[in-house]
Amino acid sequence: MTDGWLTPAALAPLDGGEVFRGAEAGAVVDFWRYAMPDLRTNTTRGLLAEFLVHRAVGATARNAEWESFDVLAPNGLRIEVKTSAYLQVWGQRELSRIQFSRLRGRVWTPEGGTAAEPSYNADVYVFALHTARSHAEYDPLDVAQWSFYVASRASVAEGGRASAGLAAVQRLCGDPVGHRELAGRIAEV
């Protein structure tokens, strides 16, 4: 506790082999397998896209979960990652409509709580689209199945967008890039 604040201690990263104490719950890797057994689920796919952007730009630490953007590049650039995919983990009659939502968000800080108005909170927006169109070809570990569209905050904020479909993202960003070209495109924007 410092100056009236309950401040969490820094923790060393887990490697998965740590064992739960006081219960026959196994190791941390067992929890990971339970919590994220399928990289295709919406929540996990979003985290996977953030991880891919994080690695592309050489970020060194994961953002706090409550942060108002997803990735902090080593040069201080704040990056928001939005994901979408044609396929879901449930049965569907047709491919999903590609939509990227929540482009604005309310900033939250421990000192000030939640901001009254939503804002654009990143310098760069990465729209990550998983492109597989059949379950037979869907491989969440194949990075080539991702297309990344990159835009500046100014261009996303123009017109007050709260969400954008694929056609709007293509107009806004131009051609997508693959993972290998992603850091360069982010730097250009």
Segment among 33-37, 99-103, 111-115, 143-147 with least mean pLDDT: 111-115
Q: Say what the alpha-carbon torsion angle 57, 132, 84, 75 is, to the nearest 10 degrees.
A: 0
Q: Classify burial at 107, counting beta carbons within 10 Å of its beta carbon; exposed 0-12, middle 13-18, buried 19 or more.
A: middle
Residue type at 54 in one-letter notation: H
With respect to residue 180, please indicate whether it lies within any of the assigned structural domains.
yes
In a domain, 31, yes or no: no
Full domain range(s) for residue 62:
38-188
Query: Residue 120, Cα to own-chain centre: how many angstroms?
Result: 15
The pLDDT tens digits of the residues spanning 30-71 come to: 999 999 999 999 999 999 999 999 999 999 888 888 889 999
- The answer as to whether 46 is a domain residue is yes
Rounded Cα gap, residues 7 and 186, in angstroms: 33
pTM attached to this predicted model: 0.91
In a domain, 27, yes or no: no
pLDDT bucket at 142, cuts 50 / 70 / 90: very high
State residue 125's pLDDT score: 98
Has residue 172 been placed in a domain? Answer: yes
What total number of domains does the chain contain?
1
pLDDT-based confidence at residue 188 (cuts at 50, 70, 90): very high
pLDDT of residue 2: 53
